[in-house]
Structure 1
């Protein structure tokens, strides 16, 4: 049975997961055609297109708002491009990193933890040799971090946030953090935002985002799919 185009939010996790499972095995082109939207030639200018397409079938409510995609269920949707062996091909964006106004922010009330408490992972073929329209959607995984995973995330988050608060944002590289990293996230080098400099002075710098490293998502998927 072909998956249906849904505008109603799923009432519970079970129905959300069933909707996601119904998409597995279809190509992005098949889903786009049924939804009546054009498939772009590639994702260079349409980075969020795959997520947007799947949200339409799952009944996501958040859109571009900073809350979780299924706010009423407390679930975040993450599509993840994978290779033929099911290994992630790139890092996973979590949320924008706050560069100012961080007094009183702890791991417990952080945006990163809020976003990663419950995640619906949907792997999608990501090999660039496969045309976008013929890439298949994989089987979904509804995940919450184990205690060990949460400890790893918290340790990295605290280290990276300490650097931001201490005015070292310009020193942060993608190598910092074992499983979580901070990288510039901007359409171009002119899109600057406020940050804190080494002497506590306001500076203008590129916006930054938190990303999960492949070293975190690969074992997570491997465990689930018994790779």
Structure 2
């Protein structure tokens, strides 16, 4: 997908674009951009997010920065069921597994990415053809002090375990609102991490994800 739409110049312009998109189906939006709709998302997992990035003029692509860096906004599409409940956890960013000595919360990508998030709910009902799924109303969310404190606490506990070489022992149950999970196209993808004896070992890449009850709490506050 190639972006032809210029990035929005202001927050108001970004929100206007997002509101104009609400109510359209993914098929209608794809048609506007002359993009083919995949028959399933198994091989095109990021397709919905890329289509919405295209429409809104997001700039980051796969770079480790906010999607609208000049506005300080991260874009997250979130699949929801008929009642508006999120259907899956939300990927935030890849987790650093090496050279983390002295890394502080305020310097972390999790902190940076979650300063302000534009949530775009999209119908994710499995039995509904992708082209017929509707895009919902946008939500611009700035975490409250309490929410940021929850995320920070989970991040610090998880990073401490990584620093101690215990990355293999971290499960998706760790963390109240933020979790660490393997992140990679397949289980053969490997990256370096810290071993318990302080040496370097190979493990699957990991990513930070927001848990469903937390994102549900955000969405239900607005809907």
Supply the distance in 2 between the matched residues of 1:64 and 1:185 (Cα, whole angstroms): 14
Correspondence for 2:179 among 181, 184, 201:
181
SS of equivalent residue, structure 1 residue 100: coil
Q: Normalised by the size of structure 2, how large is the TM-score?
A: 0.97
Supply the distance in 1 between the matched residues of 2:31 and 2:141 (Cα, whole angstroms): 30
* Counterpart for residue 28 of structure 1: 26
Give the alignment of 1:211-222 within 5 angstroms. Answer: 211-222=209-220
* Counterpart for residue 149 of structure 2: 151
Correspondence for 1:52 among 26, 50, 53:
50
SS of equivalent residue, structure 1 residue 108: helix
Q: 1:204 aligned to 2:202?
A: yes
* Counterpart for residue 87 of structure 1: 85
How far residue 166 of structure 1 moved from its aligned partner, in angstroms, is 0.6
Supply the distance in 1 between the matched residues of 2:197 and 2:222 (Cα, whole angstroms): 46
Unaligned residue ranges in structure 2 (runs of 5+): none
C-alpha deviations, 1:98-134, integer Å up to 9, x for none? 0001122111111101000011000000010111000
SS of equivalent residue, structure 1 residue 121: strand
Q: Normalised by the size of structure 1, how large is the TM-score?
A: 0.96
How far residue 6 of structure 1 moved from its aligned partner, in angstroms, is 5.6
Query: Once superposed, what is the RMSD of the aligned Cα atoms?
Result: 0.9
Unaligned residue ranges in structure 1 (runs of 5+): none
* Counterpart for residue 140 of structure 1: 138
Correspondence for 1:61 among 49, 59, 62:
59
